[in-house]
């Protein structure tokens, strides 16, 4: 990709306090995303995908902390003041949640949701203008203007998800983070939602980070894919590279576990993800890896580049061994403040 990225994350870390000690759900992530590009973020449940998505808006629960750097445009989200974050959310970066009914107030009309959000960011906007902006955003999602006065319960699940996307784009952000946007939707509605996201990329040049378990969706709609495991990105490349020539043993196991019409035998990855309060030394996939070597547990492997634009953090490929000399080892996990 060319030009300036809409998102540039460096050594991004997300930590939570737990009774057993600090848990780093995201541990040293580097990621760039460009205008009009869609990057799929995939991995097992609990690997840190949603934590990463929320960290890009600095939407953390009590006790949660974000460290490192995450620049959206020319502004770093990490360390930004509350006023700066309030301006960025919605106007620079927006988040679409996977459960719209838990995010829409059942006592408020759809129009009221939009008016409240728009005037919170742009206080000088009149109610009439905010109402017009809401109708325009909903029309982009295929929702008739006559439905703007309805309550959330009067819409189907797919329509509510469209409303959430419309709320995300009404202020025309540069970056849209979609966290499982098609969960619990039937395949026809799922296709409609994905078509809407594709149009946002092509028509508005919105950069999209698509967080999902569905590898089929990523294969059909994304330009690149990043594979997360235990808080780290272990492989990243174009969809064609990762799906046709996966390099990391975890990615290979993940793809082998998917089911298609040609599936004759079920496959799975042996073992369980590690405890992130006390992760194993070196490569975190080593305890489950069929290709594990003695030095895999000595240090976290550096990113190797088996082919241009395709990187994998695995000692199977030249370049990953830089970590063994300390050139690529990250800072030790610290205590949460």
Cβ neighbour number for residue 22 with a 10 Å cutoff = 16
Question: Distance between CA atoms of 221 and 169, rounded to whole angstroms?
Answer: 19
Q: Are 254 and 185 in a shared domain?
A: yes
Question: Distance between CA atoms of 103 and 25, rounded to whole angstroms?
Answer: 24
pLDDT for 337 equals: 63
Q: Which pLDDT tens digit goes with each residue over 5-53?
A: 999 999 999 999 999 999 999 999 999 999 999 999 999 988 999 999 9
Q: Which pLDDT tens digit goes with each residue over 54-99?
A: 999 998 888 889 999 999 988 999 989 988 988 898 889 999 877 7
Question: Distance between CA atoms of 89 and 86, rounded to whole angstroms?
Answer: 5
Q: Are 105 and 71 in a shared domain?
A: no
pLDDT for 336 equals: 66
Residue 330 lies in a domain: no
Cβ neighbour number for residue 24 with a 10 Å cutoff = 23
* Total structural domains within the chain: 2
Question: Distance between CA atoms of 66 and 48, rounded to whole angstroms?
Answer: 13
Q: Are 55 and 14 in a shared domain?
A: yes
pTM for the whole structure:
0.90
Residue 331 lies in a domain: no
Q: Are 66 and 187 in a shared domain?
A: yes
Residue 285 lies in a domain: yes
| DSSP run (H or E) holding 40 | strand 38-42
- List the domain range (segments joined by +) for residue 134: 98-172
Domain end call among 147, 172, 197:
172
Q: Which pLDDT tens digit goes with each residue over 146-177?
A: 899 999 999 988 889 889 889 988 999 999 99
Question: Distance between CA atoms of 48 and 188, rounded to whole angstroms?
Answer: 29
DSSP-assigned beta bridge partners for residue 75 = 72
List Cα–Cα distances, 231 to 12, 14, 27, 34, 46, in angstroms. 10, 9, 5, 23, 8
157: left (phi over 0), alpha (psi -120 to 50) or beta: alpha
Cβ neighbour number for residue 133 with a 10 Å cutoff = 20
Q: Which pLDDT tens digit goes with each residue over 240-283?
A: 999 999 999 999 999 998 887 788 888 889 999 999 999 999 99
Q: DSSP class of residue 258? A: -
Residues 6+ apart with CB under 8 A from 5: 32, 33, 34, 207
Domain end call among 172, 189, 216:
172
């Amino acid at each position: 990709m060319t030009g300036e990225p809409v998102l540039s994350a460096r050594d991004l870390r997300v930590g939570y306090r737990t009774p057993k000690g600090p848990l780093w759900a995201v541990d040293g992530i580097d990621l760039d995303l460009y205008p009009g590009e869609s990057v799929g973020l995939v991995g097992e449940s609990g690997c840190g995908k949603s934590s990463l998505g929320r960290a890009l808006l600095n939407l953390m629960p009590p006790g949660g902390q974000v460290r490192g750097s995450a620049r959206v445009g020319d502004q770093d989200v990490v360390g930004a003041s509350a006023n700066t974050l309030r301006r960025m959310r919605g106007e620079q970066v927006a988040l679409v949640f996977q459960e719209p009914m838990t995010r829409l107030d059942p006592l408020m009309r759809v129009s009221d949701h939009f008016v409240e959000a728009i005037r919170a960011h742009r206080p000088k906007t009149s109610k009439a203008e905010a109402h017009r902006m809401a109708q325009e955003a909903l029309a982009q999602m295929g929702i008739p203007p006559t439905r703007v006065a309805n309550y959330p319960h009067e819409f189907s699940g797919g329509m509510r998800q469209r409303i959430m996307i419309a709320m995300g784009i009404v202020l025309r952000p540069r970056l849209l983070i979609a966290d499982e946007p098609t969960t619990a939707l039937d395949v026809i509605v799922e296709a409609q939602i994905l078509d809407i996201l594709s149009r946002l990329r092509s028509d508005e040049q919105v950069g999209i980070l698509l967080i999902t378990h569905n590898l089929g969706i990523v294969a059909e709609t994304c330009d690149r894919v990043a594979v997360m495991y235990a808080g780290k990105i272990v492989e990243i490349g174009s969809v064609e590279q990762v799906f046709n020539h996966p390099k990391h043993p975890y990615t290979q196991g993940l793809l082998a576990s998917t089911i298609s019409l040609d599936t004759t035998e079920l496959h799975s990855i042996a073992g369980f993800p590690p405890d992130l309060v006390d992760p194993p030394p070196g490569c975190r996939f080593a305890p489950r890896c069929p290709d594990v070597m003695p030095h895999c547990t000595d240090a976290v492997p550096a990113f190797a580049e088996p082919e241009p634009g395709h990187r994998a953090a695995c000692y199977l490929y030249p370049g990953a061994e830089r970590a063994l000399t300390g050139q690529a080892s990250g800072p030790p996990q610290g205590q949460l403040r």
